[in-house]
Every structure is written in structure tokens, then in C-alpha cells.
A = this chain, B = another copy of it.
């Protein structure tokens, strides 16, 4: 990249903005967020008009009902976005928190202190709500945000970013603290991924394909918010009512989200006792059941293949497999899980502890619905995403996961 390149200049403006934002007070950042919420509420017709142009283009391009629904912003959704911004105001500011500290024997004090990353890049698709979401979370954690929201939502995103820039400028924060690079198209996304030194961390949100591309192409460190092929395992000693409740809740409470179950594993002893009734309960809720041979004997109507186990359905569809042992269940999870969340339903203490110790996922549960893997449920307030990687952040992410740390060292002239 040559230094007088317009794209590099744009990212350099974000970098500069991030430096002043890093030392902005919580009061200033909260004032900016309140101004953003007001700006969104005050510009409903303008946002809706821009969004309608995106929707019309999407319909003309036949992008599909699901995508059109994700793309849509009506008055209710815009007010919802403003409320989400106000919820972020209420969260504690992570910046400046002293994570640990001590006084060394020579009298030097050391303090590991939370600081913003600097510039957060976000790459996502056809979700204008993410534009506001990520920008607000970045702002509260003292980071500048560079957004690549994709061509499908381009007009909506342009209006949203301009409204946010105007709002933060009013409280004295550089408008470059929030910007979109949508005008640079795919080339912009590719360059964002290689902008090491100007962008401190990249967060991809969207399809497995998009996330894989970012992970493979990026030289900027990535926080992967991955897909969820989530398992419910009903162990031999499981309580029947509890197994029903957890299987049904994990699958049907909100099937389109990543913490919903995709596969039901059940020990053969439990299968004898309860599999027909469990499958009945799932069928009654409209779940299409793809079973292995034994599960088909107990009421699953479809045929499960290796592909079934490896698919995140995000829909009322579920694979069902009968296993001969806890080991077989753990081995199945080890093969097919995306390492998001798994739960065991059991009354066997040793099996519960083995499952907790041996299953290598971000969240491992005993006797609870996988739907609890969620920043809000965990008490973090905001929903930054759920990390399925092992570095930096794992599982539900709060504002603290959008920060790094820095060691502050104070001495009185000490040398070695």
C-alpha cells in the first residue's frame, strides 16, 4: 500500500480517532451513545427510505426471504436499535479496569490495566442492525470501528453511519471513530483483512463461509464468532421430564440462533426408557427428525447421514443418534461439534464431571438448556457475540473482550 493511498488514509483517520477515543471519559462516551440513540429515533423516515431501496434491490436480485428479513429495518426495529444503544450506556466501562497489580520487592508498582484495542474492523453481511451494534459496543470500549457491511445493505448502512458520525461529532469525538468502507466493495474487505498495523482486531459476523474467508485471508488478528453445531446428550440415568424439557427447549425455543441444539444423542438405556416420547414431544413442536437406524426405530422419520451431523440447520430439523456409551457420545461430539456449546442430561455424578472435563467446547453444561450460552444470560449485558476460538475470548463475549491490556509501571529510579 502506498502511503498516499486513499484507503490507507481512511484507515489512518480511524487510527488517529482511536487515539483520542482511548482516553475519552466514560461520560463523554455515554453522551455520544445517547446522541446516537436520539439520532436514530429522530431519523426513522430517512432510515426506512434508504432501507426500502436496499430491500427493493434485494428483491430484484432474488436474495431470498430469510436475507430480506434480516435486511429489513422498520420503525419498531429502529427503536429497538436505539434501546440496544441505551443498554450499552448502562454497562460499566471496561477501560481503565486494573486486572491485576502488585508491588515488586524493589518498590516498583505494576498494574495490568484494560485499554481499548484501537481500531476494530467488522465484516458482516446484510445486517444493518450490526452496523449500529458494533459501532456502539466499540465506542463504549474506546475503540474506533471500521465497518464493512456488504453491498446488500449499503444504502441503509450509509445513512446509519452518517447519523452516528454526526452524533459523536456533536459531543466532540472525531467522526472518523465510526466509518464504513462499503464504497470500496470486495476489494475494501480484502484490504481491511491485510491492514495489519492500522486495524487491531477483526470481527467477522455472518455465514460460516464468510468467517472461514476472514480467518484464512486475514493477517489482522481475528475474533471468530462461529457457528453452533450444538449437542444435547441424554445419558443413561437422565430424568425423563428433565430430558424432555431440555431437548425441546434447546431445539425449539429459537431455532435460528447459534446456541440452539442441532443433534440429539441418547444412551441406549435412556433410549429404551424415553426416546419415543422425547421424539414425540419434538415432533409435536414441528421438528423434522433425522435418525440413525435405532432412532428411526423409535420414531425418527428421516434418515441421518454424516452430513446431518455436520450441518448447522438453524431450523426445525434435528439429527438423532443412539449411542452405546458416554465415550461414544463424547467421540461423536469431538468429531462434529463446532465447539460452541454441549449439554449432558444425567443424574450420574461421575459422568457429569467427565463430560465437563473432556468435552472441548466454549461452554459445557450439565442439566441445563444450551440456550443459556448468551452474554445477556451470563450477566454481561451486551451481546458482542459468542467466540468459538480459544485465544483471547471463548464463549459469550462482553465489553471486556473488546479490550486489550497494558502494563503501567511506576518507579522511583529503579535499575537492574
Does A303 sit at the interface, judged by CB under 8 A?
A: no
Of the listed stretches A50-58, A162-170, A372-380, chain B binds A372-380
Contact of A102 among B239, B366, B379 (CB under 8 A): B379
Asked if B371 and A239 sit within 8 Å, CB to CB, the answer is: no
Asked if A108 and B368 sit within 8 Å, CB to CB, the answer is: yes
Of the listed residues A222, A352, A406, the one surrounded by the most CB atoms of chain B closer than 10 A to its CB is: A406
Within 8 A of B (CB), among A344-397: 352, 356-358, 360-369, 371-373, 377-379, 389-392, 394-396
A68 CA / B287 CA spacing, docked (Å): 67
| Chain B residues closer than 8 Å to A412, beta-carbon distance | 367
Contact of A416 among B22, B115, B372, B404 (CB under 8 A): B372
Contact of A363 among B215, B372, B407 (CB under 8 A): B407
A364 CA / B405 CA spacing, docked (Å): 11
A112 CA / B398 CA spacing, docked (Å): 13
A259 to chain B: closest residue by CB: B416
A201 CA / B377 CA spacing, docked (Å): 29
Query: Taking A253-B415, A361-B406 as contacts, is the C-beta distance between A391 and B394 under 8 angstroms?
Result: no
A409 CA / B379 CA spacing, docked (Å): 14
Query: Taking A104-B379, A408-B364 as contacts, is the C-beta distance between A390 and B118 under 8 angstroms?
Result: yes
Of the listed stretches A37-45, A70-78, A182-190, A242-250, chain B binds A242-250
Does A196 sit at the interface, judged by CB under 8 A?
A: yes
For A88-128 the 0/1 string (1 means CB < 8 A from B) is: 00000000000000101000101010010110000000000
A151 CA / B368 CA spacing, docked (Å): 52
A254 to chain B: closest residue by CB: B416
| Chain B residues closer than 8 Å to A245, beta-carbon distance | 413, 415
Chain B proximity of A191: nearest CB distance (Å):
15
A416 CA / B257 CA spacing, docked (Å): 14
Query: Taking A104-B377, A394-B405 as contacts, is the C-beta distance between A413 and B246 under 8 angstroms?
Result: yes
Does A219 sit at the interface, judged by CB under 8 A?
A: yes
A104 CA / B379 CA spacing, docked (Å): 8
Asked if A407 and B364 sit within 8 Å, CB to CB, the answer is: yes
Query: Taking A368-B409, A390-B200, A407-B395 as contacts, is the C-beta distance between A110 and B378 under 8 angstroms?
Result: yes
Asked if B406 and A363 sit within 8 Å, CB to CB, the answer is: yes
Asked if A392 and B395 sit within 8 Å, CB to CB, the answer is: no
Chain B proximity of A14: nearest CB distance (Å):
14
Asked if A390 and B404 sit within 8 Å, CB to CB, the answer is: yes
Chain B proximity of A295: nearest CB distance (Å):
22
Give the B-binding residues of A (Cβ under 8 A).
19, 22-23, 102, 104, 108, 110, 112, 115, 117-118, 196, 200-201, 215-216, 219, 221-223, 239, 241-242, 245-246, 248-250, 253, 343, 352, 356-358, 360-369, 371-373, 377-379, 389-392, 394-396, 404-416
Known: A104-B372, A362-B407. 17 other contacts (CB 8 A): A104-B379, A200-B390, A201-B391, A215-B219, A239-B413, A242-B413, A245-B415, A246-B413, A253-B415, A362-B406, A366-B410, A367-B410, A369-B414, A377-B416, A391-B392, A394-B405, A395-B405
- Provide a sorted-by-A list of 20 A–B residue pairs whose CB atoms are within 8 angstroms: A19-B358, A22-B357, A22-B360, A104-B378, A108-B368, A221-B389, A223-B391, A249-B416, A362-B407, A364-B409, A365-B411, A366-B411, A368-B415, A371-B416, A372-B414, A373-B407, A390-B404, A391-B391, A391-B404, A396-B407
